[in-house]
Structure 1
Amino acid sequence: MKLKRRNFFLELFIGIIVVYASVLILLFIFQRSLMYHPDENNYFGDKLEVDVEKVKIVTSDNIDLLGWFHKKDIKKFKTIVYFHGNAGKLENRIHKLNHFKDMDINFLIIAWRGFSGNKGKPSEKGLYIDARSTIQWLKKLGLKEKDIILYGESLGTGVATEIAQSNNYAGIVLETPFTSMVEAAKNFYPYIPVSLLLMDKYDNQNKIKNINIPVLVMHGEADQIVPFWMGKKIYEMANQPKYSYFTKFDDHMMEYDEKLLFKLEKFIKSLN
């Protein structure tokens, strides 16, 4: 009887190990499908109220990226380079872009590889290439780093911090930033050895220390995807000059209301 019981628990233990190992293997294989969602559609039919030119940016590894470029006056005003999050198309950001028309600003928003009909598959290395190629495209138009404001949204904050390190851009805006993708993933998979499995780590908390330009961090305390403490920690670790816009009720998709827009425009004006 004891032997049967021992064999039962041994078989149960082995079964649990096999199932757990299988889950780890599947998570490792499909992790980028879990991280990047180019086909997710949160577009609610917003109409562009600002003039944009559809542009093609060719990356250094020969992938064509779709971009929307709004040129109010590239010689007179700063240009925001908008790096979007991990889900959806450019149309998902129309409700934000429409507000830029009332500011003295140009903007260029790009779709990552694999997004908005672009070829290629997203990865940390790939998105860095996309971003650097975008900056080079603007420089060919005559813009210098001091003419450019980097804007990262969620996943895009991981790209913006990478690009901003030890460079002389006008400033950087981080909307709902995370400390690192490892810590963000642990929030969803607490029983998984994420640090061992994750290929795309986007280590914001170490890179923010290498950024020496004005920083604006925006985050809502009700964020259910990237915990608010992460955005607060990024702000605390950032070098001066730094500014924050923290709200009590905003979720992951922050409300582009009068208060946020006032803070954003004030920050932009301070960079001139």
Structure 2
Amino acid sequence: MNLNVPKLFRRTLRVIAVLATLHVVILAVLYFKQEHFFFNPKVLDKNYVFEFEAPFEELNINVDDGISLNALLFKTEAPKGLIVYYHGNAGAIHDWGKRAPLYLENNYDILFVDYRGYGKSNGKYSNSKQLLDDAQKVYAFAKTRYKEEQIIVLGFSLGSGLATYVASKNNPKMLIINAPYYSWKTLISEQIAPPIPAFIVKYDIPTHTYIKNVTCPIKIFHGSRDFLVDVEENSKKLQALAPENIELTIIHDAGHNGIHITKQYYDALKELL
């Protein structure tokens, strides 16, 4: 039997080597193709015609040489101001725009913008700096049409970190973040896909760092049944950083994508806005 030990040992080593190689290959693919896994855009034809019941203006906001972000500005008759909405990692504004009535009913115009590669926006991302710079340029565009003290910044999921970054660099009336993450890198490497080492995630959006520099009032909404972005590890940790300026509302029995359809959120918005 001892004669078989070296043979078994060699087979074990080969299996380990194959698994190790496979692991490295998977990590390499994740690193170089992570936009494919982390972003899920819906691409729209450039001739796509938006249809909504509420009045809107279609815009293209220039953010870089040859790159513009497609946007929809929904308008109400007597606006109190503007909500700049940074949406989640999936879809496009043909779908996100369906949420406009929630905010129009509270007498706010609302601007939805597609990121690069989403909807009718062109270009693509290779790092988080581009995402953040684009978010700031969208806000700068908003200031050309509205007084800054009338602007509310709102971000959902992926957009929550962008919205917080913008609020930390400017002086909006309020910051609203729905289902936010404490850190995008931590969310991916420790909560959504724990086998992925943090160094593989090249998109670093540390909401917890930005939120410390936000001077306007901050309102967080998070579903109690959000199994994608855990409320304990994200929203509650964010609130603890500045409890005197951050109000957290837990939306009962709401999942990650269900906050906006609840009566609790509807009522809270009416009171807040």
Q: TM-score, normalised by structure 2?
A: 0.88
Task: Give the structure 2 partner of residue 126 of structure 1.
Answer: 130
Relative to structure 1, is the Cα distance of residues 257 and 225 closer, same or farther in structure 2, using a 3 angstrom cutoff? Answer: same
Pairwise CA RMSD: 2.1
Whole-angstrom distance in 1 between the partners of 2:135 and 2:64: 10
- Sequence identity (%): 24
Task: Summarize deviations over 1:163-219 as a string: whole Å, max 9, x none.
Answer: 1115321010000001111221122321221x1111111111222111121011001
Q: Deviations over 1:118-160 (max 9, x none)?
A: 111134222222222212222223x333221100011001101
> Does the C-alpha gap of structure 1 residues 104 and 129 become closer, same or farther in structure 2, counting only changes over 3 Å?
same
Task: For residue 244 of structure 2, give the secondary structure of its aligned residue in structure 1.
Answer: coil
Give the equivalent residue in structure 2 for 1:69: 73
In structure 2, the residue matched to 1:264 is 269
Which residue in the other structure is 2:240 paired with?
A: 236
After alignment, is 180-189 or 197-206 more displaced? 180-189
1:85 deviates by 0.7
Matched-pair contact (CA < 8 Å) for 2:75–2:104: no
Check whether the contact 2:139–2:166 (CA below 8 A) recurs between aligned residues: no
Q: CA deviation digits over 1:236-261, x for unaligned, max 9?
A: 22353322220231111124333212
Could you say which residue in structure 2 is the equivalent of 1:140? 144
The one of 214, 217, 220 aligned to 2:217: 214
Unaligned runs of 5+ in 1: none
Whether contact under 8 Å (1:172, 1:215) holds in the other structure is yes
Q: Could you tell which deviates more after superposition, 220-229 or 80-89? A: 220-229
Aligned pair partner of 1:54 in 38, 48, 58: 58
Q: Which residue of 2 aligns with 1:98?
A: 101
Q: Does 1:203 align with 2:203?
A: no
Partner amino acid, structure 1, of 2:133: I
TM normalised by structure 1 equals 0.88
* Contact 2:179/2:223 (8 A) holds in 1: yes
- The match for 2:254 is 250
Is the alpha carbon distance of 1:38 and 1:233 closer, same or farther for their aligned partners in structure 2, counting shifts above 3 Å? same
| Unaligned stretches of 5+ residues in structure 2 | 45-49
Does the 8 Å contact 1:212/1:240 carry over to 2? no
Paired residue secondary structure (1:172)? strand
Mapped to 2, the partners of 1:198 and 1:109 lie a distance apart of 27
Q: Which moved more, 1:122-131 or 1:78-87?
A: 122-131
1:166 and 1:212 in contact (8 A); partners too: no
